[in-house]
């Protein structure tokens, strides 16, 4: 069974690898890369810092892993992304093993393929987040826990503890919450009350405490030992100086549960259905197929409670639904918060698909899903054509041929679905590979040419300008911080005057709205101008080639000759 789909795994992997060298995107991903670079350069692993200042917004695992690869391979786009990709593979393999354990090998393979080809996974291997690691660690922990319940060996308990610790080191206590809910749902469905209270769980928690102890010690040493320290805390209004910050309280409560209780300062206007519409796009091209599978699964659960117990269905359904609802109550939401639930969604779809193949309503279900697939092929084909012929034109012929070839192959395989139901799985994966090949080989590379930070660094290098003499005025970029080899330097007008007095070469990077003011204070020698747009804040006028120029902002690179 695995060999039947091996070529699809290989194809998807090639698409992932094509994206390895895409420029790191502002804001979050570039910030994490710059923090990791700083950690590798300073060798300070227990105390996370950014630009020399204490940093508390995220746990350290992403920075540890990325700085490790930076130390080995140097500072590259791909060396930043490789750690996250390895955790993606861990998540896919764990999904396969969990699906196989709960059902059979066929469902395990299909669940892994569904997860590997969903849009969220392609996305967060380009725009790297802590959630990439969290997702792999969470499903690994659930798999290890289920193995231990079925065969209580110490190796599974150790794996469970390690998986939970990795999840907590990547995102906080939610790394424990999701496995507890998922496995707890399985135990509830099985009515195996004797598995709820086990003395081995004390050992598990002790091991988790040991594994996360370096982080706990680092937080205590960096923050709790110094209540007098002024810490720049991230807030919706920018950095806010705060004293008496407890790193341990922030990690174990404020950053996670504080968003539900309201104690966290981050709030937005997202409603309770925010994750519903974000799930619909981020789990493409599987999200529409998920809807009937999800409701069918809950129908089965209701009947199973009063009759035959099928506890695997409880694990995937409630392991997905309950954290989804809890996260929906958060005062601040971002789409990637629910990505760690997608392995369970993949298992749910795979198990449902195997059931409908032998259902008396087989023809009706296949006809419905096939109709959905044809709509998806038309929609994604339209999006691909928009990007190639209206947004970023003049793509190389070979990219067009491969993209439309995969799209055509997706359509062709869908035509035989009525006779071979598993052809639908092949068709959907080919569709996902088609659009993401286009994204990784053409769209993202074109898009990042409009990102300011890397453009500025490229211009400085081309003009042989020393970064040590380059200052940023009323402008800052995390991608600039990562790609610039010299120490980042933000400057005030007063400091500029002192530089000129000392007769040192001074180069300035500043936005267009400061040009008039700076011209009134200094004699400037123009070096370059950079047209840019925030690449994670896309709009149709920017994407359309005919109106893009009107949406671009300008940065200037100038040499200060003298002051007036």
pTM equals 0.90
> 84 and 156, same structural domain?
yes
Q: How many domains does the chain have?
A: 3
> Considering 422, 448, 474, which residue would you say is the last residue of a domain?
448
Which long-range contacts (C-beta less than 8 Å, at least 24 apart) are formed by 416-423?
417/366, 417/369, 417/370, 417/373, 418/363, 418/366, 418/367, 418/370, 421/353, 421/357, 421/362, 421/366
> 382 and 252, same structural domain?
no
> 495 and 443, same structural domain?
no
What residue ranges in 464-543 does DSSP mark as E strands? 470-472, 507-511, 522-532
In a domain, 16, yes or no: no
Tally DSSP H helices, then E strands, for the chain. 26, 8
* Contact indicator for 35, 50 with CB cutoff of 8 Å: yes
Per-residue pLDDT at 547: 93
> 241 and 196, same structural domain?
yes
> 83 and 56, same structural domain?
yes
> 377 and 337, same structural domain?
no
Per-residue pLDDT at 234: 64
Per-residue pLDDT at 142: 95
> 370 and 349, same structural domain?
no
Task: Write out the two tokens for 318.
Answer: 């409630």
The pLDDT profile of the chain, 564 residues, written as one tens digit per residue, is: 457 789 999 999 999 999 999 999 988 899 999 999 999 999 999 989 888 888 888 899 999 999 999 999 999 999 999 999 999 999 999 999 999 999 999 999 999 999 999 999 999 898 898 888 999 999 999 999 999 999 989 999 999 999 999 999 998 888 888 999 988 888 887 777 777 788 888 999 999 999 999 999 988 888 888 888 777 776 666 667 778 778 788 888 777 665 554 555 555 666 778 888 889 999 999 998 898 888 888 887 777 655 555 577 788 888 888 888 888 887 677 777 889 999 999 999 999 988 888 777 778 888 888 888 889 999 999 999 999 999 998 899 999 999 999 999 999 998 887 678 888 899 999 999 999 999 999 999 999 999 999 999 999 999 988 888 888 888 888 898 899 876 767 777 667 666 655 656 788 899 998 888 888 888 888 999 999 999 888 889 999 988 999 999 999 999 988 777
Per-residue pLDDT at 307: 54
> 381 and 281, same structural domain?
no
* CA 354/CA 100 separation, integer angstroms: 13
At residue 534, the 3 state secondary structure works out as coil
Distances (CA, A) of 349 to 62, 179, 265, 290: 30, 19, 37, 6
Query: Which domain CATH number covers 530?
Result: 3.40.190
* Contact indicator for 287, 280 with CB cutoff of 8 Å: yes
> 110 and 44, same structural domain?
yes
> 418 and 282, same structural domain?
no
> Considering 448, 470, 485, which residue would you say is the last residue of a domain?
448
What's the domain range around 290? Answer: 23-356
Name residues whose C-beta falls within 8 Å of residue 506's C-beta, 6 or more positions apart in sequence: 469, 471, 496, 499, 500, 559, 560
Task: Write out the two tokens for 450.
Answer: 């409009």
* CA 406/CA 432 separation, integer angstroms: 9
In a domain, 8, yes or no: no
> 510 and 385, same structural domain?
no
Name residues whose C-beta falls within 8 Å of residue 21's C-beta, 6 or more positions apart in sequence: 76, 77, 78
In a domain, 6, yes or no: no
Find the largest Cα–Cα distance for the chain. Answer: 87
> Considering 330, 356, 382, which residue would you say is the last residue of a domain?
356
Per-residue pLDDT at 1: 46
Q: Indicate the DSSP class of residue 451.
A: -
In a domain, 10, yes or no: no
> 229 and 204, same structural domain?
yes
């Amino acid at each position: 069974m695995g060999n039947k789909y091996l070529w699809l795994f290989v194809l998807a992997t090639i698409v992932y690898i094509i994206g390895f060298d895409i420029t790191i995107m502002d804001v979050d991903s570039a910030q994490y890369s710059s923090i990791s670079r700083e950690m590798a350069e300073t060798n300070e692993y227990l105390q996370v810092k950014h630009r020399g200042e204490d940093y508390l917004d995220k746990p350290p695992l992403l920075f540890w892993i990325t700085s490790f690869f930076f130390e080995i391979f140097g500072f590259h786009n791909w060396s930043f992304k490789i750690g996250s990709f390895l955790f993606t593979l861990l998540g896919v393999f764990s999904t396969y093993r969990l699906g196989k354990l709960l059902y059979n090998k066929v469902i395990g393979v299909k669940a892994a393929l569904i997860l590997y080809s969903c849009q969220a996974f392609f996305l967060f291997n380009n725009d790297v987040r802590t959630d990439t690691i969290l997702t792999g660690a969470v499903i690994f922990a659930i798999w290890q826990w289920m193995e231990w319940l079925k065969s209580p060996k110490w190796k599974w308990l150790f794996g469970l503890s390690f998986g939970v610790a990795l999840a907590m080191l990547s995102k906080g206590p939610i790394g424990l919450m999701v496995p507890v809910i998922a496995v707890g749902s399985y135990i509830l469905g099985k009515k195996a009350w004797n598995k709820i209270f086990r003395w081995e769980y004390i050992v598990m928690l002790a091991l988790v405490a040991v594994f996360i102890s370096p982080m706990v010690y680092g937080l205590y040493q960096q923050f709790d030992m110094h209540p007098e320290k002024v810490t720049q805390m991230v807030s919706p209004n920018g950095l806010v100086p705060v004293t008496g910050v407890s790193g341990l309280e922030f990690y174990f409560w404020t950053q996670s549960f504080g968003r539900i209780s309201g104690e966290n300062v981050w709030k937005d206007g997202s409603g309770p259905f925010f994750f519903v519409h974000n799930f619909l796009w981020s789990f493409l091209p599987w999200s529409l197929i998920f809807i009937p599978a999800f409701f069918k699964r809950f129908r089965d659960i209701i009947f199973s409670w009063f009759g035959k117990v099928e506890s695997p269905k409880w694990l995937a359904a409630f392991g997905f639904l309950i954290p989804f609802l809890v996260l929906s109550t958060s005062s601040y939401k971002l789409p990637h918060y629910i990505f760690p639930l997608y392995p369970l969604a993949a298992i749910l779809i795979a198990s449902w698909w195997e059931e409908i193949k032998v259902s008396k309503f087989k023809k009706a279900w296949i006809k419905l899903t096939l109709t959905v697939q044809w709509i998806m092929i038309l929609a994604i084909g339209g999006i691909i054509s928009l990007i190639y012929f209206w947004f970023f034109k003049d793509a190389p012929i070979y990219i067009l041929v491969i993209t439309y070839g995969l799209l055509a192959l997706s359509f062709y395989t869908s035509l035989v679905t009525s006779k071979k139901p598993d052809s639908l799985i092949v068709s959907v994966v080919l569709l996902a590979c088609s659009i993401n090949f286009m994204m990784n080989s053409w769209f993202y590379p074109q898009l990042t040419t409009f990102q300011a930070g890397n453009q500025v660094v490229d211009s400085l290098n081309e003009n042989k300008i020393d970064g040590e003499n380059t200052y940023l005025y009323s402008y800052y970029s995390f991608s600039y911080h990562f790609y610039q080899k010299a120490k980042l330097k933000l400057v005030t007008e007063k400091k500029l005057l002192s530089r000129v007095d000392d007769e040192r070469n001074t180069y300035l990077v500043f936005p267009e709205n400061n040009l008039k003011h700076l011209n009134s204070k200094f004699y400037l020698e123009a070096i370059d101008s950079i047209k840019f747009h925030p690449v994670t804040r896309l709009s149709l006028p920017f994407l359309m080639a005919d109106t893009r120029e009107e949406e671009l902002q300008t940065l200037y690179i100038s040499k200060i000759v003298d002051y007036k």
